[in-house]
Structure 1
Amino acid sequence: MASVRWVAGVVGGAVLAGVVVGCETPPAPEAAPGPTWAGAAPSVRAAPSGAGTQESCPEGGVRLLEGDGNAAMGLRVTDIQLVNCGTQPYVLEGYPEIRLLDKMRVPVEVAVVHGSEEITSAPTGVEGAPQRVELRPGQAATVMMVWRNLVTDATVPAAEGWVLDVTPRAGAPRVELGLGHSVDLGNTGKLGIGPWKAPAR
């Protein structure tokens, strides 16, 4: 799966190697810490596919995975992957319906807008015309998200989403994804999303 590449606020870990003393067996190296971002991840985070026991496929036949991320100068861009874990083709078209929930699973007040025009004038990869995407079993589509971590009014609490509640297409069951990196909106109140994009060839 795509690796996380958040470029701001991320502290790289160091692996401590054991030192051989005499004939003693060196101690096993400690695991390097993972990337950190705006607080600890909640317990609802989905396990990566293939890690540990095999995940069951949700009733809708698709699951979500947290993809790559990029953060610079308060502008956040990331992608979410939707994997067809069922046995039949899965068709997407247009934009998903997305809700944000906080750590207590309370909906976050945010205006979800199509595209990035209301967020930034810089190209982000969120732009693009909607298209029909058909996923064969095992294939994944992506949706890009963009927002700003910006506080412009100290009297308005900063909003932070830790769970995505996604309806991939009209009439489909909702799918949830716990995030390892929060959607830290500040008090901008806006989240830009792109259309579903076909898997890379």
Structure 2
Amino acid sequence: MRRPAGLRPPPAATVLPFLSALAATALLLTGRGTEHAGAGGGGAGTDAVASQEGTRIDDPGKDGVWITSLTLPSASPSPTRSHSVSADRLTTGSDSGVFAAYEVTNEGAETLTYSVVFTFRGGDGGAVTNRTGTVRDVGPGRTVRGTVRAGELPPTSPRVTQVEVLEVTGVPAGEAPAEPGACPASGIRVSADEGNAAMGLRVVSLRLANCGTHAYSVQGYPLLELLDDGFEPVDGVEILDGSGEITTAAGPDEQPRPVTLEPGESATAGLVWRNTTGFGTAVNVPYVRVRAKEGAAPVTVTPDLDLGTTGKLGVRPWKKAEPQ
């Protein structure tokens, strides 16, 4: 849990000589008991900015993911809990030089592929940028370490001082969407975009890409299973052919037609719903298992359907996508 920083720098006269000597030194914030030579820790998602004396990060973790360090491309003298001093960010090329290390521990009973959203924050606690990392094939009981970079940041961005885990999703490794640039053995890649939302209306597009060497044909609607946090089926939601019962804003319902995708071509299908909440219990669906057609291998995507109490999800048929 993040707490306000509440930190004030000392007068510039005491700081500048120190910064001149250390401006090229990287600051490493470490945690979870991990020791790094000459480096120390402050809080990832807390109010501490680390010194180089080894103060550990107090990160409670989220769904099996922990921040273990935050590296900043500038030096800081040893702060106290009441104040800290840091040099201006030193940016090289288009990369900010800011990155975080993390650990993912699979506490479940099957091998999972994780998608983790990290938030890099400034001293006031505001988000500077979000980045997503994917950790594949983590077996039960295993811990895998990785790093995520903040990447290029606008010159006007506040200096990053914190990082925290915003969201974690994990799907069975055999059903995870293929990583960008990779093609599954089936030759077909299924994915979901980030979606659009307006006035309570939600639209997410599924994309079916033929990355193989042979033509692939579909007709009709993708086959869906709605799953909860435990990958169990979600009851009480009607999956509709078309979106006309949800809204007319997405255009008239199209009739299903045969679609043949040559290698390199794609098709899309839309998921449409409203997140209206009335009487009853609101339903959220974190996972959707998708089959392009009967008999196709399943792929589990994470559109996070906030269906409210509507109990309905509209599905538009596959249609060939325009070349990108």
Q: TM-score by structure 2 length?
A: 0.47
- Equivalent residue number for residue 22 of structure 1: 20
Shift, 1:142, TM fit: 0.6
Specify whether residues 66 and 197 from structure 1 end up closer, same or farther in structure 2 by C-alpha distance, changes over 3 A only.
same
Shift, 1:178, TM fit: 2.7
Per-residue CA deviations over 1:133-173 (Å, capped at 9, x if unaligned) read 111223221101100112211xx322222222222223x22
Query: Which amino acid counterpart does residue 33 of structure 1 have in structure 2?
Result: N
Pairing of 1:13-92 with structure 2 (within 5 A): 22=20, 24-25=23-24, 26-27=73-74, 28-29=97-98, 32-34=129-131, 40-44=167-171, 46=177, 48-50=179-181, 54=182, 57-59=184-186, 61-92=187-218
- When structure 1 is superposed on structure 2, of 40-49 and 81-90 the one drifting more is 40-49
Pairing of 1:1-201 with structure 2 (within 5 A): 22=20, 24-25=23-24, 26-27=73-74, 28-29=97-98, 32-34=129-131, 40-44=167-171, 46=177, 48-50=179-181, 54=182, 57-59=184-186, 61-109=187-235, 110-120=237-247, 122-125=248-251, 127-153=253-279, 156-170=280-294, 172-179=295-302, 181-201=303-323
The structure with the larger Rg is: 2
Cα root mean square deviation, aligned: 2.4
Alpha-carbon distance between aligned partners in 2 of 1:69 and 1:126, rounded to the nearest angstrom: 19
SS in 2 for 1:22: helix
Specify whether residues 175 and 184 from structure 1 end up closer, same or farther in structure 2 by C-alpha distance, changes over 3 A only.
same
Specify whether residues 117 and 68 from structure 1 end up closer, same or farther in structure 2 by C-alpha distance, changes over 3 A only.
same
Tell me, which stretches of 5 or more residues in structure 1 are unaligned?
1-20
Given that 1:126 and 1:144 are in contact with CA atoms closer than 8 Å, whether structure 2 keeps it comes out as: no
- Runs of 4+ with deviation above 6 angstroms: none
Higher relative contact order (CA 8 A, sep 6+): 1
Alpha-carbon distance between aligned partners in 2 of 1:151 and 1:199, rounded to the nearest angstrom: 33
Specify whether residues 142 and 148 from structure 1 end up closer, same or farther in structure 2 by C-alpha distance, changes over 3 A only.
same
- Equivalent residue number for residue 4 of structure 1: none
Alpha-carbon distance between aligned partners in 1 of 2:252 and 2:289, rounded to the nearest angstrom: 19
Tell me, which stretches of 5 or more residues in structure 2 are unaligned?
1-18, 25-72, 75-96, 100-119, 121-128, 133-165
Given that 1:142 and 1:199 are in contact with CA atoms closer than 8 Å, whether structure 2 keeps it comes out as: yes
SS in 2 for 1:134: strand
- When structure 1 is superposed on structure 2, of 140-149 and 83-92 the one drifting more is 83-92
Given that 1:143 and 1:193 are in contact with CA atoms closer than 8 Å, whether structure 2 keeps it comes out as: yes
